[in-house]
């Protein structure tokens, strides 16, 4: 067996004071897999992967999994049936309640001054049109007024209209296309004009005296009180045909997300007083405050049943697309990893759990609730391995501030075939990865680690967009990732030493370039009920 570790930078770092991140690579070269369990996991993962078929059911048949929606319930039922078919014990664990909601159809059509069917979707938790019937009404732009008093005086003019409340992009062509094809200077001029127009729009909103933004929709509530027929919004993701869809924070009128191109059309027509009229049919059903759950699957340990290894991924998603890359890939990866373990390692030394979390998109509430509700598991955790946001191969890991974790994690990685680990950059003491469910563990002092995949244009084309669908997945990479996760779980389960808890504060460069504390690694309580609208 030929093993080689290439260490680029690994500085001694012990104690509890702040530390700057250092990086090293663990790159075992090709070698025969001598361990029979690892060899069996490799054979199953590479030769008979079920990732494509599992993903097809989850993403195509079940679809998006908004917290507290029927889609989420259907996905959890499917997980329980799947684990039962494999002979793996699995259960629902209730951790609170959330605002339930069922989506229906959305149709938005421009009917004057010409006819065009528009690309649009009702935002999550929004009211529909009355009785789900079409409503035809003119379109109005939120006016540029000097102050809140002028806005209140204008409000009667919003009655019976669909009000445009988002910034209109001057172009829906990505910047790199302008840079490639435009005349010299045009792209730079466009960026400058767009930035100035965005600032002006933000000031227009501020002068109303009300707020419009993430979880702050007091402007829409005031317009709804004035009798507006509804609201048209847009959130362009900076890519071709890529638009994001989040949730509505208002009742009394429908809130519809419109594609960048079609929103710009409506805005220009209204701004030039060309009489745009739209017809909207939007169906939805509020379900009240309903119970919410995590799904947890388990292979009970034989020697150390009260010590734990956790495989972690959030099941919930926004519902603009199918929730494929965020985070159907993580869900399928950990589901497949558990299948591999059940076949190759059914009687682990430590107990192996898989957590399929709810409400990550609401603020890590599902995983945070699990940690809060199971202090004995957190106290006895050997390691939690989490994956989120990506279809590509795992390319980064970090130690989440645990100063002695690197020696354990590196020992695991050098026993795994280089085909699975050759691209992994390890950051010590970390973190390399973005905030995620691993930080629900690490923030509370339990060793939680992020498995970060390659980018694959995630922010522009996948993150909460209508394009986050099955066809974007790379199943070769997903099969590799599931096999890697299963091997990590096996090696952590078999580790003869308990993972040390020594930890340092993580220092990361901030927006100003100066070192700042990594604030996501904190032990925050979960939201266990829908918070009031702000």
Q: Where in the sequence is the domain holding 262, given as residue range(s)?
A: 114-275
Domain boundary among the residues 242, 275, 308 is at 275
> Could you identify the residue written with the tokens 């799947």?
82
Per-residue pLDDT tens over the stretch 252-288: 999 999 999 999 999 999 999 999 999 999 999 999 9
Q: Are 263 and 328 in a shared domain? A: no
Q: Is residue 520 part of a domain?
A: no
- Note the pLDDT of residue 32: 74
Q: At 149, is the pLDDT very low, low, confident or very high (cuts 50, 70, 90)?
A: very high
Residue 219 belongs to a domain with what CATH number? 3.50.30
Do 168 and 81 belong to one domain? no
Pair 87, 157 in one domain: no
422-452 pLDDT, tens digit each = 999 988 887 656 789 999 999 999 999 999 9
Q: How many Å separate Cα 297 from the centre of its chain? A: 21
Extract long-range pairs of 128-133: CB within 8 Å, 24+ residues apart: 128/104, 128/254, 128/282, 128/283, 128/284, 128/285, 129/230, 129/254, 129/280, 129/281, 129/282, 129/283, 132/104, 132/281, 132/282, 132/283, 133/281
Q: Which two tokens stand for residue 492?
A: 């952590």
> Of 28-42, 194-208, 517-531, where does the model show the most confidence?
194-208
389 in a structural domain: yes
**Same-domain check for residues 394 and 341:** yes
Q: Is the pLDDT of residue 19 over 60?
A: no
Q: Are residues 235 and 343 in the same domain?
A: no
**Distance (Å, rounded) from C-alpha 307 to C-alpha 100?**
36
* Average pLDDT estimate for 313-342: 97
Please tell me the distance from the alpha carbon of residue 355 to that of residue 372, in angstroms, as a whole number.
Answer: 14
Do both 215 and 132 map to the same domain? yes
pLDDT in tens, 468-491: 999 999 999 999 999 999 999 999
- What's the confidence (pLDDT) of residue 513? 72
Taking the C-alpha atoms of residue 21 and residue 400, their distance in angstroms, rounded to an integer, is 10
Q: Is the pLDDT of residue 390 over 90?
A: no
Tokens of 526: 């979960």
In the prediction, which pLDDT does 23 show? 59
Q: Are residues 220 and 368 in the same domain?
A: no
In a domain, 15, yes or no: no
Mean pLDDT across 445-465: 94
Q: Assess whether 70 and 217 both reside in one domain.
A: no
Q: How confident is the model at residue 122 (pLDDT cuts 50, 70, 90)?
A: very high
What's the CA gap between 482 and 479, in Å, rounded? 5
Please check the confidence at residue 21 and state whether its pLDDT lies above 60: no
Rounded-to-5 percentages of helix, strand, coil across the chain: 35, 25, 40
Q: Is 388's pLDDT higher than 80?
A: yes
Give dist(CA 146, CA 63) in Å, integer: 45
pLDDT band at 505 (very low <50, low <70, confident <90, very high): confident
Look at the chain and report how many structural domains it folds into.
2
Residue 10 in domain: no
**pLDDT of the residue at 214:** 72
Would you give the end-to-end CA distance of the chain in angstroms?
61
Whether residue 260 sits in one domain with residue 200 = yes
- For residue 325, how many C-alpha atoms fall within 13 Å in the half-sphere facing its CB? 29
Portion of the chain with pLDDT greater than 70, in percent:
91
pLDDT in the model for residue 31 = 59
Residue 300 lies in a domain: yes
DSSP one-letter string for 493-504: HH-SSPPP--B-
Instruction: Select the more confidently predicted residue: 249 or 298.
Output: 298
What average pLDDT does this structure show over 135-153? 98
Closest by CA position to 255, among listed 221, 289, 204: 221
Residues 326 and 385 in one domain: yes
In a domain, 75, yes or no: yes
**What string of DSSP letters covers 135-183?**
EEEEEEEPP--SSHHHHHHHGGGGTTSEEE-SPPPS--S-HHHHHHHSP
Position 69 in a domain: yes
Burial class (CB in 10 A: 0-12, 13-18, 19+), 130: exposed
Q: Which stretch, 28-32, 136-140, 245-249, 420-424, has highest mean pLDDT?
A: 136-140
Average pLDDT taken over every residue of the chain: 92
On whether residue 8 sits in a domain, the answer given is no
The percentage of the chain sitting over the pLDDT mark of 90, rounded to a whole number, equals 84
What is the C-alpha separation between 403 and 362, in angstroms, rounded?
Answer: 30
- We report the CATH number of the domain holding residue 94 as 3.40.630.10
What is the mean predicted confidence (pLDDT) over 71-80? 98
In a shared domain, residues 94 and 124: no
Together in a domain, 74 and 147:
no
Q: What is the pLDDT of residue 129?
A: 98
Q: What's the confidence (pLDDT) of residue 437? A: 97
- Is the pLDDT reported for residue 135 higher than 50? yes
């Amino acid at each position: 067996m030929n093993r080689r570790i290439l260490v680029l930078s690994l500085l001694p770092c012990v104690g509890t004071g702040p530390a700057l991140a250092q990086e090293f690579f663990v790159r075992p070269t090709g070698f025969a897999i001598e361990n029979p369990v690892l060899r069996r996991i490799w054979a199953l993962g590479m030769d008979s992967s079920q990732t494509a078929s599992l993903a097809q059911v989850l993403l195509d048949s079940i679809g998006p999994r908004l917290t507290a929606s029927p889609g989420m319930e259907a996905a959890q039922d499917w997980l329980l049936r799947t684990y039962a078919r494999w002979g793996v014990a699995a259960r629902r664990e209730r951790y609170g309640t959330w605002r339930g909601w069922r989506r229906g159809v959305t149709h938005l059509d421009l009917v004057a001054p010409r006819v065009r069917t528009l690309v649009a979707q009702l935002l999550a938790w929004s009211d529909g049109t009355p009785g789900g019937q079409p409503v035809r009404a003119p379109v109005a732009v939120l006016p540029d007024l000097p102050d809140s008093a002028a806005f209140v005086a204008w409000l009667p003019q919003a009655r019976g209209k669909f009000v445009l409340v988002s910034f209109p992009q001057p172009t829906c062509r990505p910047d790199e296309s302008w840079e490639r094809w435009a005349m010299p200077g045009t792209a730079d001029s466009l960026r400058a004009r767009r930035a100035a127009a965005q600032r002006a729009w933000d000031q227009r909103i501020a002068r109303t005296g009300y707020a419009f933004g993430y979880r702050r929709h007091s402007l829409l509530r005031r317009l709804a009180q004035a009798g507006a027929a509804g609201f048209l919004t847009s959130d362009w993701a900076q890519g071709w045909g890529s638009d994001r869809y989040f949730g509505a924070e208002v009742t009394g009128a429908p809130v519809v997300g419109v594609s960048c191109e079609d929103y710009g059309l409506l805005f220009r027509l209204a701004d030039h007083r060309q009489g745009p009229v739209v017809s909207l049919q939007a169906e939805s059903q509020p379900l009240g405050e309903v119970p919410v759950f995590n799904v947890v699957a388990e292979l009970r340990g034989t020697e150390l049943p009260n010590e734990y290894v956790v495989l972690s991924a959030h099941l919930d998603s926004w519902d603009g697309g199918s929730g494929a890359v965020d985070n159907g890939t993580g869900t399928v990866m950990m589901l497949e990893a558990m299948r591999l373990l059940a076949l190759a390692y059914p009687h682990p030394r430590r107990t192996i759990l898989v957590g399929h979390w709810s409400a990550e998109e609401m603020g890590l509430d599902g995983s945070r609730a699990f940690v809060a509700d199971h202090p004995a598991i957190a106290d006895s955790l050997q390691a939690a391995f989490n994956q989120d946001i990506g279809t590509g191969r795992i390319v980064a890991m970090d130690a989440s501030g645990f100063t002695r974790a690197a020696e354990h994690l590196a020992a695991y990685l050098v026993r795994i075939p280089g085909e699975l680990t050759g691209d992994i950059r390890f950051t010590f003491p970390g973190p390399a990865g973005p905030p995620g469910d691993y930080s629900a563990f690490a923030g509370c002092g339990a060793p939680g680690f992020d498995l970060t995949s390659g980018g694959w244009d995630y922010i522009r084309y996948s993150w909460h967009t209508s394009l986050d669908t099955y066809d974007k997945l790379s199943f070769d990479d997903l099969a590799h990732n599931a096999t890697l996760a299963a091997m990590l779980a096996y090696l952590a389960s078999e580790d003869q030493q308990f993972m040390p808890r020594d930890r340092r504060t993580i220092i990361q460069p901030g927006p100003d370039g100066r070192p700042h504390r990594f604030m996501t690694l904190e032990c925050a309580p979960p939201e266990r009920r829908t918070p009031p609208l702000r």
